[in-house]
Chains A and B, each alone.
Chain A
Amino acid sequence: AQSVAQPEDQVNVAEGNPLTVKCTYSVSGNPYLFWYVQYPNRGLQFLLKYITGDNLVKGSYGFEAEFNKSQTSFHLKKPSALVSDSALYFCAVRDSPLYGNNRLAFGKGNQVVVIP
């Protein structure tokens, strides 16, 4: 089965500094990778996805992610973090596309804390 790993429980960064949230994946076949963000008391919001093409994917709220096939990684990045970016971030990979659905396997999530 496909899986992703998010090695850090929490990422602390000062406001204005670059933010990186790490994700590595394990798949058989083509990797279809996603990032989601969850703010307190809310559902998950889609940020971006990698399907094919350019290794650098741009998404919502100034976030981008870099797909690295040799390192099996899909790290989420933002050049300058804002306090409002403090949230829980999930990496996900599409699992077996059976029966006409897009089942996802999620990582455990990373809490990002942006310090003013």
Chain B
Amino acid sequence: ETGVTQTPRHLVMGMTNKKSLKCEQHLGHNAMYWYKQSAKKPLELMFVYSLEERVENNSVPSRFSPECPNSSHLFLHLHTLQPEDSALYLCASSSGSPTPYEQYFGPGTRLTVT
């Protein structure tokens, strides 16, 4: 256990559905991240939140909508997804800079879009 939990672990949704992924960290960190991991591709950073403010959005389509209500919780709201959005979605957290702290990852949500 890394102190970062994600629910659900598996999700199957149709292209017209709306669903949300949840991430919770119990480490007292102040930065949280969403990554997309697809087979045979590098890890893609999607969003970065620092002190509950979004500081980075790496050209992610608007069908992905993040929310960070407090420093311990991070959501990824999904709507009208495409089959190519099927992937493992990973959440991570870390302490802030300037000290180079490592990120701690959750187990991920395996998303399948049908």
Indicate if the CB atoms of A103 and B105 lie closer than 8 Å: no
Contact for B50 among A32, A46, A51, A100, CB less than 8 A: A100
Give the number of chain B interface residues (Cβ < 8 Å).
34
Indicate if the CB atoms of B103 and A43 lie closer than 8 Å: no
Chain B 20-52 near chain A by CB (<8 Å), digits 1 or 0: 000000000011010000000111010011110
Q: How far is the CB of A10 from chain B (nearest CB, A)?
A: 12
Residue B69 lies at the interface, judged by CB distance under 8 Å to chain A: no
Q: CB-CB < 8 A to A106: which residues of B?
A: 42-43
Indicate if the CB atoms of A43 and B107 lie closer than 8 Å: yes
Interface-central residue, A94, A102, A108, by most chain B CB under 10 Å: A102
Residue A61 lies at the interface, judged by CB distance under 8 Å to chain B: no
Residue B90 lies at the interface, judged by CB distance under 8 Å to chain A: yes
Contact for A42 among B48, B51, B100, B108, CB less than 8 A: B108
Q: How far is the CB of B27 from chain A (nearest CB, A)?
A: 12
Indicate if the CB atoms of A102 and B42 lie closer than 8 Å: no
Q: Which of B11-19, B59-67, B74-82, B91-99 forms part of the interface with chain A? A: B91-99
Residue A25 lies at the interface, judged by CB distance under 8 Å to chain B: no
Question: With contacts defined as CB atoms under 8 Å apart, how many contacts are there between chain A and chain B in the complex?
Answer: 81
Complex CA distance for A51 and B101, rounded to whole angstroms = 9
What band does the interface of chain A fall in when counting residues whose beta carbon is under 8 Å from B? 20 to 34
Complex CA distance for A97 and B101, rounded to whole angstroms = 11
| Majority-rule SS of A interface residues | loop
Q: CB-CB < 8 A to A46: which residues of B?
A: 2, 102-104
Q: CB-CB < 8 A to A97: which residues of B?
A: 97-98, 100
Contact for B55 among A51, A94, A99, CB less than 8 A: A99
Indicate if the CB atoms of B31 and A101 lie closer than 8 Å: yes
Q: CB-CB < 8 A to A98: which residues of B?
A: 55, 97
Q: How far is the CB of A73 from chain B (nearest CB, A)?
A: 18
Indicate if the CB atoms of A44 and B98 lie closer than 8 Å: no
Indicate if the CB atoms of A51 and B30 lie closer than 8 Å: no
CB within 8 Å of B: which of A37-85?
41-46, 49, 51
Q: CB-CB < 8 A to A51: which residues of B?
A: 100
Indicate if the CB atoms of B105 and A100 lie closer than 8 Å: no
Ranked 3 nearest A-B pairs via Cβ: A43-B105, A97-B97, A101-B31
